[in-house]
Structure 1
Amino acid sequence: MFRQASRLLAGSVRLSRRPFSTATEVPAATTTHTDSGFMESWTKVIPNIDPPKTPSHFMNPRPATPSSIPSKITVNFVLPYASELSTKEVDMVIIPATTGQMGVLPGHVPTIAELKPGILSVHEGNDVTKYFLSSGFAFIHANSVADVIAVEAVPVDHIDPSLVQKGLTDFTQKLSSATTELDKAEAQIGVDIHSALNAALSG
């Protein structure tokens, strides 16, 4: 039954695809059409089970791309269990991308960036709020909206420097004494995270 459902659902998705361009926003009607096709196919194949929710259930429609560059960039900063910032208008955000620190201003080119352990800085005039991120992705849209999705994050002023030093020492010792590839990988992740935390606090 589920194999048949997956084939039908895959077919409905293929039929509803549209050419994609980062220069334009996907119309809200396209998302609605895709979801309605998904729901219709699911109901036909498995009428006794509620269909799963799709990402569009949890997201507001994106505003249209303005004809001129706005004065502020709108930031959504979310974790798996919380929303730190929601439609917050700020002057700039600096994102710890794997390619380096990336400053995002209004009118930034549409971009998808993978995040590395480091500091997310949110600038509002003279006020700067800093968060330490473990990893995640940033999606910069053509309409000056930035979505930052992190696996874990904490305000920098909530970090205890003594615990960071202890963690760095412990994981460094674990790395030097690790005997299996799994132990080495886990220890290396610990070293990388605590090294980034240490750099964040000292910087």
Structure 2
Amino acid sequence: MFRRVTSLLARPIISAGRARSFSTDLPANPTADSAFVDAWKKVVPNTDPPKTPLAFMKPRPPTPSSIPSKLTVNFVLPYASELSAKEVDMVIIPATTGHMGVLPGHVATIAELKPGVLSVHEGNDTTKYFISSGFAFIHANSYADIIAVEAVPLDQIDASLVQKGLAEFTQKLSSASTDLEKAEAQIGVDVHSALNSALTG
């Protein structure tokens, strides 16, 4: 048994000479995954195969040889698209590791987002959103995909309601008796504290 397990572990995970593809390397014609379609037709010849993600995704431009002057940003929520292929100078995202500025030519990165302010800089104009959480995917070809659970323009937030919510969740945290109540109250305190900092700072 031990030999069988070690021999399985010794096998290479990726076959030699076969590089793993990334989202920036989609094929020029992503209408269908031909290997999947061929396999489907062998099993179910009388039914059209379902669409694969490649049928819906536009291929990203290749990584340029020189750094472009603009960063292309897609900023989406589960129910809306705030920015779609918007060319900007810079974005500053509230990553869990700290605020991170993203310029054209940024190294490919995946960052988890925490409650805080997302700033979108375009010339002399800056648009600020408060986001609750999410992820940012920075691609090597100067594209940034920012996916947030919830977001609202900073100028639409009522400071008095933030103070009221912070007081309520702080009181709930001090009186919480179960782990679930403590966790829910702590999330409320964290979000309202971040909202308060965004409005005052």
Give the TM-score normalised by the residue count of structure 1: 0.81
Aligned to 1:118: 116
* Mapped partners of 1:192, 1:180: distance in 2: 18
Q: CA deviation at 1:32?
A: 5.8
Aligned to 1:10: none
Aligned to 2:25: 26
Query: What number of residue pairs does the alignment pair up?
Result: 185
* Mapped partners of 2:19, 2:146: distance in 1: 25
Correspondence for 1:136 among 134, 140, 143 = 134
Identify if the C-alpha distance between structure 1 residues 115 and 63 changes in structure 2 by more than 3 Å, giving closer, same or farther.
Answer: same
Code of the residue aligned with 2:200 in structure 1: it is: S
Q: What SS does the aligned partner of 1:69 have?
A: coil
* Structure having the higher Rg: 2
Relative to its length, the structure with more helix (as a share) is 1
Identify if the C-alpha distance between structure 1 residues 42 and 172 changes in structure 2 by more than 3 Å, giving closer, same or farther.
Answer: farther
Residue by residue over 1:19-76, the C-alpha shift from the partner in whole angstroms, topping out at 9 and shown as x without a partner, is 3377x9323269666x44445555636977974x654455321111111100000000
Identify if the C-alpha distance between structure 1 residues 144 and 178 changes in structure 2 by more than 3 Å, giving closer, same or farther.
Answer: same
State percent identity of aligned pairs. Answer: 74
Q: What SS does the aligned partner of 1:28 have?
A: coil
Consecutive unaligned residues in structure 2, runs of 5 or more: 1-13
Identify if the C-alpha distance between structure 1 residues 50 and 151 changes in structure 2 by more than 3 Å, giving closer, same or farther.
Answer: farther
* Mapped partners of 2:45, 2:166: distance in 1: 51
* Mapped partners of 1:160, 1:83: distance in 2: 23
Pairing 1:99–2:61 present? no
Native 8 Å contact 2:25 2:62 kept in 1:
no
Pairing 1:88–2:86 present? yes
Residue by residue over 1:113-148, the C-alpha shift from the partner in whole angstroms, topping out at 9 and shown as x without a partner, is 110111110001110000011111101111100000
Q: What SS does the aligned partner of 1:106 have?
A: coil
* Mapped partners of 1:28, 1:135: distance in 2: 32
Residue by residue over 1:157-196, the C-alpha shift from the partner in whole angstroms, topping out at 9 and shown as x without a partner, is 1111111111101111111111110010001000000000
Native 8 Å contact 2:24 2:59 kept in 1:
no
Identify if the C-alpha distance between structure 1 residues 190 and 42 changes in structure 2 by more than 3 Å, giving closer, same or farther.
Answer: farther
Aligned to 1:197: 195
Give the TM-score normalised by the residue count of structure 2: 0.81
Aligned to 1:5: none
